[in-house]
Structure 1
Amino acid sequence: MFKTLRPALVLFVLLSALTGLLYPLAVTGAAQALFPAQAEGSLVLRGGKPVGSALIGQNFSDPGHFWGRPSATAPMPYNGGASVGSNQGPLNPALVDAVKGRVEALRAADPANAQPVPVDLVTASASGLDPHISPAAAQYQAARVARVRGLSLDRVELLIEDHTEGPWLGLLGEARVNVLALNMALDAAAR
């Protein structure tokens, strides 16, 4: 019996070492060598200290900053360890109530703004971690941010334009604005 089990056990140990140890080490090493910033989490640094990631949204609630998409993660917003969508359909009463509450919060933060609220400001992305908003969502918030910061609307709109990324390779996806990068530029402009 040992004669028939021995090849199976040897193969099990070899494949375990290959797929559980050698392959992950090789992939990690290649990622570190070829894409060091991405392999380290795409960290955004200010003064040599990490302030966030270019790939994960952050919870900005100060009216002087641009707000990102709502997060669907729990127990805290933008929790990278709990990446999940809400799985609520458009007719789900909980989603309808949440969207109404978010619209009311946006209207309360800028009562003079009569523009329609862009959908990405009131609905979470599939992962619940999206760091981007649409240029329309940034423009919707521009007057509020300019007023609270004491900056001209033209200056804030120029920052939005400077931080708008086009579709990948000019073809795939839509234009987007990284909220963390925009808010960091806004903080630098206010100095």
Structure 2
Amino acid sequence: MKSNFFIAIKLTLVCMVLFVGVYTVLVLGVAQLVPNKGEGDVVHFNGKKYYRNIGQSFTSDAYFNSRPSAVQYNAAAAGGSNKGPSNPAYLQAIQQRIDTFLQHNPTVQRSQIPADIVTASGSGLDPHISVQAANIQIERIAAIRKIAVPNLQQLVITATEKPLFGLLGTEKVNVIQINIALDQLK
């Protein structure tokens, strides 16, 4: 029994050194070799720093709205709400998001609202919306910014990211990227 105890302690110490020390240094070293030194996909616009791969809140009617976030877009607290589809609090939150969306987009019918514009992603930080979610916001943005609808439709087409290798995933629009492009249309 004593011999097993000391073997377990030695194995624990070796694993701690390998997985806490060596692995961490290895990952940090590799991160220094990639663009942006492991800081993520950084975009600079109008003197501000944005992360293209982390969802951010856009609530102004002059911009494409992001996907809702269960963690208020806090990357340190990434995660979903963990509430099931039959949870009354979850259903109430979804209903509030639908009502708010319809209030800001009066030309949209309830049946046209895609799920991703009123539900948070699993991480709560998804930077993308579906092409449909971008398209149903075009009329609102066109009216506020006094931009022709075809110009905004072309902007959505240009900002649409295709599935990986043409097979994996769906077409999507990065909200940060399209909102920066929207500001550059002036």
Q: TM-score range by the shorter chain?
A: 0.7 to 0.9
Identical pairs, percent: 40
Aligned to 2:20: 20
Q: Helix, strand or coil: the match of 2:32? A: helix
Task: Tell me, yes or no, if structure 1 residue 125 matches structure 2 residue 124.
Answer: no
- Residue in structure 2 matching 1:93, options 78, 88, 95: 88
In structure 1, C-alpha distance between the alignment counterparts of 2:159 and 2:184, rounded to whole Å: 14
| Equivalent residue, structure 2, for 1:60 | 58
- Of 162, 166, 180 in structure 2, the residue corresponding to residue 184 of structure 1 is 180
Matched, 1:108 2:103: yes
> In the aligned structure 2, how far is the partner of 1:91 from the partner of 1:48?
44
Amino acid at match of 2:177: A
Q: Which residue number corresponds to residue 175 of structure 1?
A: 171
**Structure 1 residues 20 and 67: alpha-carbon distance in aligned structure 2, compared to 1, 3 A threshold:** same
Across the aligned residues of Structure 1 and Structure 2, the Cα RMSD in angstroms comes to 2.3
SS of match in other structure, 2:155? helix
Gaps of 5+ in 2: none
Between 100-109 and 16-25, the greater mean CA deviation after superposition: 16-25
- By how many angstroms is 1:157 displaced? 0.8
> In 1, distance between residues paired with 2:73 and 2:37?
18
| CA distance in 2: counterparts of 1:6 and 1:99, whole angstroms | 55
Q: Flag structure 1 segments of 5+ consecutive residues without an equivalent.
A: none
Find the partner of 2:138 among 138, 142, 147.
142
